[in-house]
Amino acid sequence: MEQTAKELQKQLTWEFPNIAKSAPEQKEEAFAYCEGYKAFLNAAKTEREFTAEAVKLLSGAGYEPWKPGKIYAAGDKVYYVNRKKALIMTTFGKRPLEDGLRLNAAHIDSPRLDLKPNPMYEKSEMAFFKTHYYGGIRKYQWVTIPLAMHGVAIKRDGTAVEISIGEKEGDPVFCVTDLLPHLSADQNERKLKDGIKGEELNIIIGSLPFECGEEELKETVKLNVLALLYEKYGITEKDFLRAEIEMVPAAKAVDVGLDRSMVGAYGQDDRVCAYTAMTAEIATREPEFTTVTVFADKEEIGSVGNTGLNSNFLLHYIQDLAAACGVDYRTVLRNSICLSSDVNAAFDPTFPQVYEEKNACYLGKGCVLTKYTGARGKSGSSDASAETMAKVIDIMDAEGVYWQIGELGAVDVGGGGTVALYVAGLDVDVVDLGVPILSMHAPFELASKMDIYHTYRAFCAFYK
């Protein structure tokens, strides 16, 4: 019997379906999953906090600190913390290690405002923090929003003091000020990227002088703030030189839309991929292949430093795993496959000109496979092979995962990168997979609950 044109079209063409239309019964599961995700985001706004909170979950799920040289059995679960800002976790598989690993790499740092090493000053009887922005931000988005203070200071005696102000009910918050429209005529002439300049991202932290009755004393507002910090944390101005303090949005993760279909929160790039990878890793019991899930720091500034994936901490971990089993680590790497788990830019119909619609990713159509990132002529991309794409797509199709393809904007409009090229540099097959995001790198990013849930399902399928 001859095929009709309609039947042939169905057989030969392809469109990525909307999950809520194709599988509306999954809405309840997705919404329930995202309740845990929102709670975790609220507790983990920095890479240090994410690592600490993750270790709590892993310990509760039966993971033990990894011991180099120890032989582990299938189903054993371990974790390794790198300098309190990066994390690796493993579930040992049934196949021998030389058959390769199922690697999953996400990053847990996000754009923010870091305090300068000597941050505090007073001017016009107001006290401020000087900041140096971290990662690719649009500076104007960070003014006049409530900010919270997170970090750690090492006191002179070596004691580490954890700092968190602005998250609990009743806590004070902080902000960067901006000009009122009545006086901003000159500022309005600036280009948007310079609407707020880097050295104008000064955070106001106080306006009351220290009550001392000594008229000749200068900078008493700064002194009052220092006295309050000393009372609460026992730190002095010099201790800021031994500190890592990050100013992040004070807003909590919330549902967005009358239909509550989206999560709005700070830091979803890339903690949405890290959380889904971690929960999938925890759910994995006795996989075929040994899993290695790594959460790295410093991706937003080039994966630099000894907690970023452009260092050797992941390689050393895999070398030690291989040595314990008496196999060549190069064989292990060559036979491995990795998901570079990072977000992509969801199509925004308000700004369609920066996307190429057929190759953009969309909210509600599932996790996004990104074959290559980079800029212009794919510069800075690892560009996954056809074989790698086929393998990952087959894994997801076999488990009923909803997925889509996406590029990071139209050609020559911009671009970006992920950790994929550093994993590829280890001689590992790798492709990017993550969640489509609206308003990426803004203090408040949006993600679809259906996409979040299917990214979790994709990772479960990958580990299986």
pLDDT at site 414: 87
Q: State the amino acid at position 4 in one-letter form.
A: T
φ and ψ of 216, to 5 deg: -75, -10
Flag whether the pTM goes above 0.85. Answer: yes
Confidence of residue 1 (pLDDT cuts 50, 70, 90): low
Query: What is the per-residue pLDDT across 322-359, written as a single tens digit (0 to 9) for each?
Result: 999 999 999 999 999 999 999 999 999 999 999 999 99
Share of the chain above pLDDT 90, in %: 92
| pLDDT per position as a tens digit, 363-403 | 999 999 999 998 899 988 899 999 999 999 999 999 999 99
pLDDT band at 95 (very low <50, low <70, confident <90, very high): very high
Structure tokens at 57: 């979950």
Q: State pLDDT tens for residues 9-37.
A: 889 998 999 999 999 999 999 999 999 99
pLDDT (0 to 100) of residue 194? 95
Contact 356, 410 (CB under 8 A): yes
Q: What is the pLDDT of residue 3?
A: 80
CB atoms within 10 A of CB 376: 11
Mean pLDDT of the chain: 96
Can you list the domains of the chain with their CATH numbers?
Answer: 5-110+266-463 (3.40.630.10), 112-249 (2.30.250.10)
Residue 434 has pLDDT above 70, yes or no: yes
Asked if 340 contacts 420 with a C-beta cutoff of 8 angstroms, the reply is yes
Over residues 73-89, the pLDDT tens digits come to 999 999 999 999 999 99
The answer to whether 135 touches 301, Cβ cutoff 8 Å, is yes
- Report the pLDDT averaged over residues 236-264: 97
